[in-house]
Amino acid sequence: MKYSRLLCAGIAVSLLSISPCPIPYTNAQDTSYASPAPTKGRAYYEERGDIVWEVPTHRKLIALTFDDGPDESNTPAILDLLQKYDAKATFFVVGSRVEKLPHLVKREREEGHEVGNHTFLHSSFQYISRNKALSELNQGQASIVQATGAGTHLFRPPGGSYNDTLVKLSKEKGLKIILWSWHQDTLDWRKPGVHRIADKVLRNARNGDIVLMHDYVHQSTQTVDALKIILPELKKRGYSFVTVSELLSNREKPDGLIEVNK
């Protein structure tokens, strides 16, 4: 009996000592899944340039990104604010919504913003076959081409879910997986309040950040209102808002970065 208690205690301590990979995000509008622990750690994919979380740079550049749109009210409001503050952003769009509101995605491109693939149906990539994943990528890309006349080379999987299979598939399709800075997940989909969203961004702002927000959150304008605080304040601090591709072009290669064939 004494041995059994000691064994159980030892197992408990071992489990507590394991440091799990952070789960970056679960969509409030689809809470049936969370990002799985990847086959390999972040450093493995980051060093090879397979997945981007943020970009090392000494320049005061930040990439604002918006997921799950377009939305008939929030997207135009966000575009108006970006135009007011001479800011560029990247919109990771859901193909089924693009088909309903193609003019908004076209406007995003026309105003100098970047459009990324966020799948067609916002399906979970945690438990998905390769064929289903391929279909989601292809349909998402097709919707963007139909709306704007050109595709994209950026992809953000719903919920931040990724694994070796998805990385390989994205490469085959010529897509770069873009996630976000872990300290810049605004959780705006939870509707935490305008000032909490704004404070998250402002308190943690660093060069090369990729900020996660959403231009579609059901019955919420908190993201729009938070941008009214974020944009002028960060401009005052000397930051410029750029697309993800522009941010990537300003990467300063850190020591130890492994160059691989894309």
Helices (H), 92-209: 95-100, 102-110, 130-148, 164-172, 194-204
First to last CA, the chain: 57
User: For the chain, what is the radius of gyration of the CA atoms?
Assistant: 19
67 among known catalytic residues: yes
Catalytic residue among 71, 118, 214, 215: 214
CA 189 to mean position of chain CA atoms: 13
Q: Give the tokens for residue 69.
A: 């749109």
What's the angle, vertex CA 253, arms to CA 251 and CA 255, rounded to 5? Answer: 150
| 3-class DSSP state of 124 | coil
Neighbouring-strand partners of residue 91: 66, 115
Which of the following is catalytic: 67, 185, 209, 215?
67
Phi-psi region of 219 (alpha: psi -120 to 50; beta: other; left: phi over 0): left
Residue with tokens 């799950």: 68
The token pair that represents 125 in the structure block: 């990539």
Token representation of residue 67: 């997921």
86 is catalytic: no
Distances (CA, A) of 30 to 25, 135, 221: 11, 19, 19
The Cα 254–Cα 172 span in angstroms is 26
Q: Looking at the annotation, which residues are catalytic? A: 67, 214
